[in-house]
Structure 1
Amino acid sequence: MLNLHLPRAVGAWLTSLTGQRPTRQVDAADTVMHWPPTPARVLVSAERHAHKCLAQALALEHPKGYLLAHVPLHKVVRVPKQYSYREWLSRTGLLTVDFALCDEHGYIRSAVLLPVGDDHARQSRKRDRLLRVLGATELKVTLWDREWQNDTPERLRERLFPRLRGAGYYADLPHAAH
């Protein structure tokens, strides 16, 4: 059966000709009625495996830390607002970090990005922009390798949280007992 809404279509056409805007109030129930929501899977299989490994490594470095997934870039970095913040958001607003490893105070200490398929040119461009922005920070960014799922949490911790030491620093090495 053909379901035609001629009065609505004719009304919209006449409104467009006269230049008037409809003054219809949008009801929240309309949204739910037209787009019935259902729960979604937040992490796919590869992301769940990575999350499990990252959580174990994070617990060694920051026992009270947080592991967040799919974090918008504007939550990860701060930029000066001397220029248009709205313009910066329009350029980077859809970029996300796959995993953010935070300390107990909520400061991000390391970011992990999952691999992007070779056949996804648009995703690769977005990833390049993301890496360029993150590269300008002092934040440790790690590209996830699926083989790390077999590593111990201690080894993964070393990859995610490198110990930055200056030349001649031996205080915490076992053979440096002077």
Structure 2
Amino acid sequence: MRNLHLPRAMSAWLSRLTGQPARPANDAPDTVMHWPPTAARVLMSSERHAYKCLSQALALEHPKGFLLAHVPLHKLVRVPKHHSYREWLSRTGLLTVDFALCDEHGYARAVIVMPAAEDPSRHGRKRERLLRVLAATDLSVTQWERDWQNESSERLRAMLFTKPRGAGYFADVPQAH
């Protein structure tokens, strides 16, 4: 019985049909040469407007805080290690939140999820799974509404940071000397 490697045999057969020269098996295409990368826009227009509003509200609550965009879920939450972390990551590894508002120590304090227009069923299920995981945490989860762009920073702050700070919370605020 012949030991044929089917993908190579099919590739050689297709190359002969199309008239292209067959590439040696060890000559893999260089991804940079065949698919030249270009810089992409990270935030859409609505996300940029939301970012500006959120950064002003965050500055009132946590003056030295961070506003992060498109944060993977596994960076925001911790799960118990007595179950397989790899399995949890395989189920939630591709889920991201649109914005995470963090305090000066790098802990997420609030999460913003922007509405997606007419989610297909797969994206809808992913969104539901994301919201279900976030609901189990102590994070304040808010769905961004477009009309908040005209809200004052103080009012937006009250809407975003609904959960009170813990008794032992220390905020490193600037002191006037």
Same structural fold, with TM-score higher than 0.5 when normalized by the shorter chain: yes
Question: How many residue pairs get matched?
Answer: 149
Per the alignment, do residues 119 and 103 of structure 1 end up closer, same or farther by CA in structure 2, a change over 3 Å counting?
Answer: closer
Amino acid at match of 2:90: S
Matched with 1:158 is: 158
Amino acid at match of 2:22: P
Query: TM-score when scaled to structure 1?
Result: 0.77
* d(CA) in 2 for partners of 1:69, 1:149: 17
Per the alignment, do residues 163 and 108 of structure 1 end up closer, same or farther by CA in structure 2, a change over 3 Å counting?
Answer: closer
1:70-81 alignment to 2 at 5 Å?
70-81=70-81
Deviations 1:53-103 (A, max 9, x none): 000000000111000000000001011121111111110011001000001
Matched with 2:96 is: 96
Deviations 1:120-174 (A, max 9, x none): 2222111100000001111100000101001000000000112539xxxxxxxxx
Amino acid at match of 1:39: A
Amino acid at match of 1:131: L
* d(CA) in 2 for partners of 1:119, 1:85: 28
Could you tell me how far 1:25 is from its partner in structure 2?
7.3
Amino acid at match of 2:98: D
1:121-160 alignment to 2 at 5 Å?
121-160=121-160
Of the three residues 22, 37, 46, the one matched with 1:7 is 22
Query: TM-score when scaled to structure 2?
Result: 0.78
* d(CA) in 2 for partners of 1:25, 1:157: 56
Matched with 1:69 is: 69
Matched with 2:43 is: 43
Could you tell me how far 1:26 is from its partner in structure 2?
6.1
User: Are the equivalent residues in 1 in contact too, given 2:67–2:101 (CA < 8 A)?
Assistant: yes
* d(CA) in 2 for partners of 1:98, 1:140: 14
Amino acid at match of 1:69: A
Structure 1 gaps of 5+ residues are 12-21, 166-178
Matched with 1:170 is: none
* d(CA) in 2 for partners of 1:76, 1:47: 20
User: Are the equivalent residues in 1 in contact too, given 2:140–2:163 (CA < 8 A)?
Assistant: no
